Structure formats: structure tokens, C-alpha cells
Amino acid sequence: MSEHPYDSLREEDLRLRRSVKWQQFPADVLPVWVAEMDYPLADPVREVLLEMVERGDTGYVHPGGVAEAYAAFAAQRYGQQVGPEGARVIPDVMRGVHHVLAVHTEPGAAVVIDTPAYPPFFSTITAAERRVVDVPLVRDADGRFAHDLDALERAFAAGAAAYLFCSPHNPTGRVWSSAELETLADLADRYAVTVLADEVHSPLTYAGHAHIPFASLDSDAARRSVSFVSASKAWNLPGLKCALAVPGGAPAAQLLEALPEELAFGAGILGAAANVAAFRDGGPWLRDTLDYLDGNRRALAEQLPALLPQVRWSPPEATYLAWLDLRPLGWGDDPASVLLERGRVALYAGPEFGVPGRGFARLNLATSRALLGEALERMAGAADGQMPRPGGG
């Protein structure tokens, strides 16, 4: 099998990056934690950014084109018809969630999330002066994460104003089925709960699974919903700051009209141009990158049983994130801290994702096959009480 260009990534080159992934920890720590990719930019994105910088095109953002590019992408990829005229450009997903909560709910209102949950879900709801109601996911008969529908209904019935729903799910990597989504929509309809769907990982869905946008369902809950999307995760653009809030129908469009006009100016002009290029012309790069990530997913499935047979996990159906159950190692609530100290490898600490994350850690697969292997070796060395090899690649 021929070598992929991503196999040539070198740690010393990656350490020149200024992003938080590579600057957060000392130089002897191998970072596989925050959701950044180590891969080069897609050519269409790189070219538009170079052109803009060359001509000094770094003023305030004009939002035109982003919603149209996403609508065409959604139609082609999901068969979803998106009305771009109702979408709003926002700086990023969580800023959009914060503002929608501010205009749609009252201070102190209950906002339901599924845990384990993306850590900014907690901080964003709290910063908006709303109340987090976390409903832990459960495991189904096949060991996959699933919703505890009875607990979710109790949370909705208790007066929840909104449900901040992650689809595909971070950190577990679940892609929710049509039946699961319809059940959630029925519950939201029954209790008049507004669904805010974080679908930022949706382009990163692996073959054999299909992302279904919540807003594409035929239900009142879908028409009242707001979806948050961006090219930021799938094309590695989070620092460029651009996302979309997309209404599911007329009721949600009216909600988005109440957002402050200046919110769009928090987005970056480079981010808007990069999102357009990614959604419009980044398909070949995305397919190739997903194929490589799938190889990393399979490599993890092969190497974990040999190196760390105690660790339990379910391969993600989407995202480049692996949710690892490290409780059998006996390292307490925060095994990532043990891996950092003993193995000099940084994973995302499970307790940051809520109480169900205790004893877990999240591993980022979006690196070279060799660096992924090095991370696993460091983890195994920590479990064996060995220190990592100096200068490991």
C-alpha cells in the first residue's frame, strides 16, 4: 500500500504551530487532546486564504455566500433543503448557542444536555445564566451509547426550555438513527422544548453510517429547531471563526431574527471565505481525509487490545475522537492526569465532560499513523510504569 502524504507529518514541524493543541503542554508531551487536526489545509481553502492575505483583504466580514455554500453542500450530502435566506452567520457554534438562549429563554431556564457532553456546553449555558440539566446516556444491548428516554422525558416534563443536542455526538462518536431522532422530536413536541442541534461534526461521518439533520425531520420540533453548522471541524478551521445558525422552519427563522445584528461581525472574514471554499470545493479533500481517519480508527482497534487490553471503547461512527473507558486501570476519576504525568501524553480529561466522564479520557485520532502509534505506546508505558522514550516520534 502506497504511503499517504499524512504519513509524512513530522512532530518537529507540528510543534511550530501556534494553536492550543501544540502550545498548551511542554515540548516533551505528545498532545492528542483538543479537537484540532494535524493535517495540511485543503487546497481550495489554502488558496483562497493566500489570495486574501496577498491583497490585504482582512477587513470586517461580509456574510454573503456562506449560507448559500452550506445549503448546496447539505443538499448534496444529506438531501436536505436549506433555505439560506433565514440562516445567520455567527462567530462559532457556542457563541451562537449563547445568543439563541439569551433571546429565546428566560434567566434560570433549564437547558437539557446529554452527558458525557462537550465541555463548553456546560460553560456556555452557565454564562448565559441558564441552568444545566444533564441526562446521562446509557449503553444499549450492543454496547453503543443511547438516550435514556425515560430520564429525558422527566427532564423535559419538569419544564425544560431547550435541549442542546449534539449530533453526531461528541465525545462518543454516535450517529443517531432516524428512529432515535424521531423519538427525540416526539418528546420535544410533547413538552414544547426547543431543540438546538450542534451538528458541527456532521461532515465527519464514516461509511456505513448516515448523518440525518434534525431539521430535516417532518415534525413541529424540527421546524422550531435551530441547527449550528460550520466547516470548522471537518476542514480544521476553528481559529478562523465562522459558523452558521440555520432555522429548521418559519418559527425558528423568527427566533433568529431577534439575534443582534452585530453578532455576524464577530465572525472572521477569512473564516467566512474558508467556509465557502470548504463547502463548495473541499469535497475531495474531505473524502481523502475521512479515508485516512478511518484507517486510524482501524489502527486503534487493532493496537489497543495488544497494548492496553483493559481499555474499553466503541469505535466512533463519526468524528475523529475516541472515547476511552480507562476505569479498569484503576487510576481514579481523571486517568488523563496519570497519562500526562507518567506517559507524557495529553488526552482530554473525561471529568470535563460531566460526571459520566469520570474514569474516561478522549483521544484525538487526527494525526499521522506513526504519531497515533507513539501516543498508544506512551499510554501503554504509563500502564506498565515505564517512562516514555526520549525523542519519540
- 363-387 tens-digit pLDDT: 999 999 999 999 999 999 999 976 5
Judge contact between 350 and 386, C-beta under 8 A. Answer: no
Q: For 261-277, what is the mean pLDDT?
A: 97
65-110 pLDDT, tens digit per residue, is: 999 999 999 999 999 999 999 999 999 999 999 999 999 999 999 9
Q: Residue 110, SS3?
A: strand
- Residue 67's contacts (CB-CB under 8 Å, 6 or more residues apart) are 82, 84, 85, 87, 89, 244, 246
Say if residue 336's pLDDT is above 80. Answer: yes
Nearest to 357 by CA among 122, 183, 95, 22: 122
What was the pLDDT predicted at 268?
A: 98
- Residue 147's contacts (CB-CB under 8 Å, 6 or more residues apart) are 114, 135, 137, 138, 180, 183, 184
Cα–Cα distance for residue pair 361/33, rounded to 1 Å: 9
Say if residue 296's pLDDT is above 50. Answer: yes
pTM for this prediction:
0.96
Tell me the domains of the chain and their CATH numbers.
5-42+283-383 (3.90.1150.10), 57-281 (3.40.640.10)
Cα–Cα distance for residue pair 211/175, rounded to 1 Å: 6
Is the link from the previous residue into 390 a cis peptide, with omega within 30 of 0? no
Q: For 225-235, what is the mean pLDDT?
A: 98
Say if residue 229's pLDDT is above 60. Answer: yes
Strands 162-166, 131-136: pairing kind:
unpaired
- Residue 123's contacts (CB-CB under 8 Å, 6 or more residues apart) are none
pLDDT, the chain, mean: 96
Would you state the torsion angle of the CA atoms of residues 12, 204, 269, 19, taken in this order, to the nearest 10 degrees?
Answer: -20
Residues written for the chain: 393
Cα–Cα distance for residue pair 61/52, rounded to 1 Å: 12
Say if residue 237's pLDDT is above 50. Answer: yes
Write out the E strands in the chain.
30-31, 88-90, 110-115, 131-136, 138-139, 145-146, 162-166, 194-198, 226-229, 243-247, 321-325, 345-346, 348-349, 360-364
Q: Which amino acid is at 98?
A: H
User: What are phi and psi for residue 240, nearest 5 degrees?
Assistant: -85, -15
User: What are phi and psi for residue 248, nearest 5 degrees?
Assistant: -80, -20
41-72 pLDDT, tens digit per residue, is: 999 999 999 999 999 999 999 998 999 999 99
Cα–Cα distance for residue pair 315/171, rounded to 1 Å: 11
Cα–Cα distance for residue pair 279/274, rounded to 1 Å: 9
Reported as a pLDDT band with limits 50, 70 and 90, residue 140 is confident
Residue 311: in which H helix or E strand, if any?
Answer: none
Place of cell 418528546: 187
What was the pLDDT predicted at 143?
A: 83
Q: What are the percentages of helix, strand and coil residues in the chain, rounded to 5?
A: 45, 15, 40
Alpha helices by DSSP H, listed for 55-148, are: 66-78, 93-104, 119-127
